[in-house]
Structure 1
Amino acid sequence: METITVPTFIDVAHRGASGYVPEHTRASTVLAHGLDVDYIEQDVQLSRDGIPVVLHDLYLNRVSNVADVFPTRQRPDGHYYVVDFSLKELKQLSLKPRTKSDGELRYPDRFQPSSLVFPIQTLAESISLIKQLNRTRNKNIGVYIEIKAPRWYHGQDYDATAAVVEVLKEQGYKDGEAPTKIYLQSFDPETLRRLKREFHIDYPLVQLIADNSWNESGVDYDSLRTYAGMESLSAYADNVGVWLNHLLTGVEDNQPQWSDILTHAKRTNLNVFVYTLRDDQLPAGVTSLKQLRDWLKKAGVTGAFSDFPDKK
C-alpha cells in the first residue's frame, strides 16, 4: 500500500488524560489541556432528569463508589445505571480508577484508589472548563463528544441526541458559531443522520466502527469496514473512528501490517481516526507509543485517541 505522510496529526485525549488520573474527571480534563492536546473527548450518558453527564459506561459500578453511597439502587442485573440517578444524586458520587467485573483494577499500574474526591462532570461543565482554560492559556483545544447508546436511551424514553444538541446550543455552538473546535461521534449511524438532517449540525461527524462482539448496536460493523460500507456512510459522515486492532493486523520485520481500511477510506474521501493508544497495552511487535503514532501518521491516519496523549 502507498505510504502517505500527512502534515499534521490530531491527538485526542481519550476521556481526558486517563492514563494518569481517573477517566472523565475534571483532573483528567485539566491535565489533558495542560499537555496541549488537540481535542479532549467527552463520552455522554444521561441522568434520570435528562441531563448529559460525562461518563463512558451506561452504569456506574466500575468507575465510581455508587455501591457504597447507594447500596440498594442496582437493577436486577446487578448494575447501577446512570439514568436511574438524578444529577443531584450523581454529584454525591466520586469517580475512581476503572475496575474489571471481578473488582480488580483494569490498569493496576495507573492511578490507585484513594480518598480523593473526583465528582462527575456534566457535559456543560466540561465544555465550560475547556473554554475557560482555552481563554486563560490562550489555546484552541477542542471537544470530541460521543453520544453513547442513543437507541438504548430511546427505549428508556430519553432522547440522548436532542439532550446533547441542547447543551451545545446553550454553550454557544449554534448559528454556525463554535466557541471551540468540535467533533461529534457515535457508533449509531441513525444518530449521525439525525444530527445532519434534523438538527442541521454542520460540525464534523465521525462514524465509530465497533467490533460486532461488543454489541454496541444492531449495526453490522463488519460490513461498514468494507468499501461498500464506507461509501454508504460517507453520505452523512466525513470521518470514521476505527479500533486499532481492526487497522493494525500485525508487525513483520519491524514493519506495520495494515488492513484494507485505509485504502477504502481514501477511496471514499473519509478521514480515519484510531482508538485507543495505550502505553500499558501495546500491540504485539510495537515497542512504544511514539513508534505506533509515527506509523499511523505515515500511513495516512488523521488522528488517534490516546490515554497517554503526551507520549508522541
Structure 2
Amino acid sequence: MLVNKTIFHRLAGVGLFVTACALGPLGTSPVARAQDIQQEKVVIAHRGASGYLPEHTLAAKALAYGMRADYIEQDVVLSKDGVPVILHDIHLDTTTDVAARFPDRKREDGRYYAIDFTLAEIKSLNVTERFKTDSGKQVYENRFPMDFGMFKVPTLEEEIKMVRGLNHSTGRDVGIYTEIKDPAFHREEGVDISAAVIAVLEKWGYNNPDSNSFVQCFDWAETKRIRNELNYQGKLVQLLGENRWGPPEGTDYDYLKSEDGITEMARVVDGIGPWLPQVITGLSENGSAVVTPTLIAAQRAQLLVHPYTLRADQLPKWAGDMDIALKAIFDDAGIDGIFTDFPDQAVQYLARNPDA
C-alpha cells in the first residue's frame, strides 16, 4: 500500500470511526534508520479493540475493524479436539466462566486448560472482561463491565471469515496478525499447534510474502521451525520478552536483543515484536524518544518493528497521554507499527499527523 493511499484511508477513517461508535458500544542513542524509503505506519488491534470490549471476542474484532485498524491480532491455542481457538492464554479461567460451569475440570494446579475442553464445551462458556482469579475483580476496572459478559470464544477460522467478509463488504484489506501460543506446552500435550495453525492460514491464502498477514511467536526455536521445517512462506515476526519472565527453553531474549541476535533473526523473520520498553526507554530533555541499541540494530537490519502494548489506561511512565506516546513511537523513533488496545486513538493520531 502506498503511503499517500494510507494517509487518505486514515483521514477517511476518522469519519467511519465516528459512525462505528454511533452504531454500538464501543543507553541514549540517536535514531539510525537503514531504510531509504518512507515506511507505512500500521496500527495493530491488540486482541481487537480490547480497551472497549472483552479481548478476543468477535465483537471486539468488529469494533477494531470499524476503527480502521490495519491489522487485527489473534492469539491461538488448541481445543481438546484440535481446533485452533482464539484465546490469549492456554487457560480459560481468567476470561470465561469455566470455573462455574465445569468446577471439577481443573488440573492439580487449580487452572482450567483449553486443551482439556472440546470445542463444543468451550463454545458453551461466556467470555467476559479479563479478571483476577483470586479476587474475581476485573484487571482494568474502567473497561467493559464483567457483569455484561455475553460473548463466546471464536475459532481462528471464524475470525478469518469475519475479517474476510468485512473486507469484501467494505472494499478494504485489513490484515490478520496471528500468534502461536506456547508451542512447547502443546507439544507436551501431544499436539503440534504450529502445524494446525499454519494449515488454517494456508487454507485461506495467508501463506506467501504478499498475503496481508503476519505470524508471530515468542519461542525462537519454534519460529525457526515454522520457517524451515513447516516451510511457511508468509511474513514472520519474532516476539521478544525478558529472560526474567521465564522464556521458552532455548530462547535467550538478552541475546536476541543484541546486535548478533538481530542479525541472526534477520535471516529468518521479517520483523520483531519487542516489549515497548525494549525500544524506547523514555524521553530526553527536549522531549524526544530515547531509543535503544536493539531498535537501532533492527532498523539497520531492515526488520519491521511492531512493539507491544500501548494502552491509554496504562501508559508508560514517561508518557503523559496517548499523543505523547504515539509521537515518540512514530515520529521520533520511526517505528513501523504499534500494538494497542485503543486502535481508534492511534488511527486518529496518524490521520492528524500524516508525516509521522
TM over 0.5: yes
Shift of 1:290: 2.4
Counterpart contact for 1:262–1:300, Cα < 8 Å: no
Q: Please identify, of 148-157 and 180-189, the stretch whose mean Cα deviation from structure 2 is larger.
A: 180-189
Secondary structure of the 1:277 match is coil
The alignment-based identity, stated in percent, is 39
* CA offsets 1:224-270 (integer angstroms, 9 cap, x no match): 10001111111111200000122221224333222211111123221
Q: Which amino acid aligns with 1:300?
A: G
Shift of 1:297: 1.3
Shift of 1:48: 0.4
Partner of 1:137: 170
Q: State the distance in 2 between where 1:220 and 1:129 align.
A: 37
Q: State the distance in 1 between where 2:92 and 2:297 align.
A: 37
Shift of 1:3: 6.2
Shift of 1:177: 9.0
Counterpart contact for 2:32–2:300, Cα < 8 Å: no
Partner of 1:197: 228
Partner of 1:89: 121
1:176-255 maps to which residues of 2 (within 5 A)? 176=208, 181-218=212-249, 219-253=251-285, 254-255=287-288
Q: Please identify, of 132-141 and 287-296, the stretch whose mean Cα deviation from structure 2 is larger.
A: 287-296
Partner of 2:153: 120
* CA offsets 1:36-93 (integer angstroms, 9 cap, x no match): 1100000000000111000011101111110111111100000000100000100000
Shift of 1:167: 1.1
* CA offsets 1:125-155 (integer angstroms, 9 cap, x no match): 0001100011111110000000000011101
Shift of 1:170: 2.6
Secondary structure of the 2:306 match is strand
Secondary structure of the 1:21 match is coil
Counterpart contact for 2:128–2:148, Cα < 8 Å: no
Counterpart contact for 2:44–2:338, Cα < 8 Å: yes
Q: Please identify, of 141-150 and 210-219, the stretch whose mean Cα deviation from structure 2 is larger.
A: 210-219
Q: State the distance in 2 between where 1:278 and 1:75 align.
A: 33
The normalised TM-score by structure 1 is 0.95
Partner of 2:337: 303
Q: Which amino acid aligns with 2:179?
A: E
Q: State the distance in 2 between where 1:293 and 1:202 align.
A: 31
Over 3 Å counting, the alpha-carbon distance change for 1:60 and 1:269 in structure 2 is same
Q: Which amino acid aligns with 2:113?
A: Y
Bigger fraction of residues in helix: 2
Counterpart contact for 2:209–2:234, Cα < 8 Å: no
Match of 2:140 among 95, 107, 115: 107
Q: State the distance in 1 between where 2:221 and 2:254 align.
A: 17
Q: Which amino acid aligns with 2:308?
A: Y
1:285 aligns with 2:318: yes
Unpaired runs of 5+ residues, structure 1, are: none
Counterpart contact for 2:32–2:299, Cα < 8 Å: no
Match of 1:64 among 75, 79, 96: 96
Counterpart contact for 1:147–1:186, Cα < 8 Å: yes
Q: Which amino acid aligns with 1:200?
A: N
Q: State the distance in 2 between where 1:292 and 1:284 align.
A: 10
Shift of 1:200: 2.3
Q: Please identify, of 275-284 and 106-115, the stretch whose mean Cα deviation from structure 2 is larger.
A: 106-115
Partner of 1:2: 31
Q: How many residues align?
A: 310
Secondary structure of the 1:310 match is helix
Secondary structure of the 2:146 match is coil
Q: State the distance in 1 between where 2:71 and 2:205 align.
A: 18
Shift of 1:212: 1.4
